[in-house]
Amino acid sequence: MARTILPFGPQHPVLPEPLHLKLTIEDETVVEALPTLGYVHRGLEKLCEVRDFNQMIQIVERVCGICSCLHALCYCEGVEQIMGVEVPRRAKYLRTIWGELHRVHSHLLWLGLFADAFGFESLFMQFWRVRERIMDIMEATCGNRVVVSVNVIGGVRRDLTPEQCKWIEEQVAIAEKEIRQLSSTILNDYTVKKRCCGKGVLTKDQAYQLGAVGPMLRGSGWAQDARQTGYAAFGELGFEPIVEYDGDSYARSAVRFRETLQSLDIVRLAIARLPEGEIASKVKGKPQGETVTRVEQPRGELMYYLKADGSKHMDRVRIRTPTFANIPPLLAMLPGCELADVPVIVLSIDPCISCTER
């Protein structure tokens, strides 16, 4: 049969970001998919040579605006490990609260975009309406809606007052109620299931061998989550990953939906157990040494390799972002699918191209 090459992106209505896929199609079936990256590549790992190790926090936060808090958290934990800084317990809990709020807003954002990808615009609007509640919490507690710059080396920059904690608990309760109202639509609706079930299947072995991370890995039946390693306050709060077994787009959206509710629970638990005390410890000297740190971003496991040589600039900041690891599984999922399912499958990995290319 004759083959056609179809460009998908870089400017495409379902993609908020530029990713280019060269799809070879036979009739309506995709035979091969080749990615072209580099539309968002800025080279910000290299900026560690012009910015000192404190200023790098602002840079790594802008690796990705959606999960900025967790990038900063990962970087700060790395530098703290190198310098041997002990972070106060209260700061650890506060980091957890903001980190999990970030996950909630990112998952709601994705659930909306995913609904939009299969043409369910009112569901997109509903999810984003709930998300604004979380954005309000961020703005009230940190001063900015998206880039929440609270992490510093040694702790956090801002504290929560008891009134704020109470208000957050109220808002979280309302948000949870509103999210639960949407559960029957995203999880049980006939049309939604028709578009998601059995699309973009990644088997358990494939997912592991191709290096998938985050909801991709958990949607395929692996109970792996970097939060189990106990960074921030997870060591004290305890954590059980959410797992689905089908490995298709539906399983991934179910993982993310359930994680949203789970994260709201973690926020409440962390607020309830919030210890008293300092929010940042004094940091002296300059880092020297190397380390690897991992945190769980909304999209999956994020890894930083940091090397410092005792000067005020880091020697090397290597960032392995989750979408970078999820692109090879995407390339394995696309061949064999129908052209109309490509947007759904691409969206189901929760692509964050600015993370991928940095």
Partner 1 sequence: MLGNLINQGRIKSPWVVHFDCGSCNGCDIEVLACLTPLYDIERFGILNIGNPKHADVLLVTGTVNQRNKHVLKNIYDQMPTPKAVIAIGACGCSGGVFREAYNVVGGVDKVIPVDVYVPGCPARPEAIIDGVVAALEKVKKLLGMTA
Partner 2 sequence: MLETIPLSLDQVAAVAKECFDDGWRQVTMSAVDCGEAGFEIFYHYDKDLVMRHYRLSIPKETVVPSISPVYFCALLIENEIRDQFGICFSDIVLDFGGALYLEAEVRAMPFCKVSVAEKQS
Among 23, 33, 44, 156, indicate the residue that binds partner 1 (CB under 8 A): 44
Identity at 340, one-letter amino acid code: A
Say which entry of partner 1, partner 2, none residue 99 contacts (CB below 5 to 8 A, set by partner kind). none
Q: How far is the CB of 135 from partner 1 (least distance, A)?
A: 8
Among 5, 6, 125, 174, binds partner 1 (CB under 8 A): 125
With respect to partner 1, which residue has the nearer C-beta, 66 or 82?
66
- The length of the chain, given as a count of residues: 358
- Whether the Cβ atoms of residue 175 and residue 123 lie closer than 8 Å to each other: no
Q: Which residues bind partner 2 (CB under 8 A)?
A: 34, 37-38, 41, 43, 45-46, 81-82, 208-211, 224, 226, 228-229, 289-292, 294, 301, 303, 305, 307, 315-316, 318, 320, 324-325, 327-329, 332, 357
Residue 226, contacted partner among partner 1, partner 2, none, CB below 5-8 A by kind? partner 2
Q: Which of 147, 201, 243, 339 binds partner 1 (CB under 8 A)?
A: 147
- Cis check: omega of the bond before 16, within 30 degrees of 0: no
Q: Which of 3, 28, 54, 129 binds partner 1 (CB under 8 A)?
A: 129
Residue with smaller CB distance to partner 2, 129 or 318: 318
Q: Which of residues 166-205 bind partner 1 (CB under 8 A)?
A: none
11 part of the interface to partner 1, by CB under 8 A: yes
Residue 128 binds to partner 1 (criterion: CB under 8 A): yes
Rounded Cα distance between 173 and 160, Å, is 18
* CB-based contact 231:254 (threshold 8 Å): no
Helices and strands, number each (H, E), in the chain: 13, 8
User: What are the DSSP calls for 195-263, one per residue?
Assistant: HHTTSS---HHHHHHTT--THHHHHTT----GGGG-TTTHHHH-------SS-SHHHHHHHHHHHHHHH
- Residue 241 Cβ vs partner 2, minimum distance, rounded to whole Å: 10
Could you give the angle at which helices 68-83 and 89-117 cross, rounded to 10 degrees?
150
**Among residues 174 and 223, whose Cβ is nearest to partner 2?**
223
Which regions of the chain does DSSP assign to beta strands (E)?
3-8, 20-26, 29-36, 151-152, 155-156, 288-297, 300-309, 314-320
Q: How far is the CB of 34 from partner 1 (least distance, A)?
A: 16
What binding mask, one character per residue, do residues 19-38 give for partner 1 by CB under 8 A, x or -?
A: -------------------x
Which residues have C-beta within 8 Å of that of residue 186, sequence separation ≥ 6?
Answer: 111, 115, 123, 192, 253, 257
Q: Please tell me whether residue 335 adopts helix, strand or coil conformation.
A: coil
Q: Taking the complex as a whole, how short is the minimal distance between the CB of residue 156 and partner 2, in angstroms?
A: 25
Residue 40 makes contact with partner 1 by CB under 8 A: yes
Site for partner 1, rule CB under 8 A? 10-13, 16-18, 38-44, 46-47, 50, 58-59, 62-66, 68, 109, 112, 124-125, 128-129, 131-132, 135, 145-147, 352, 354
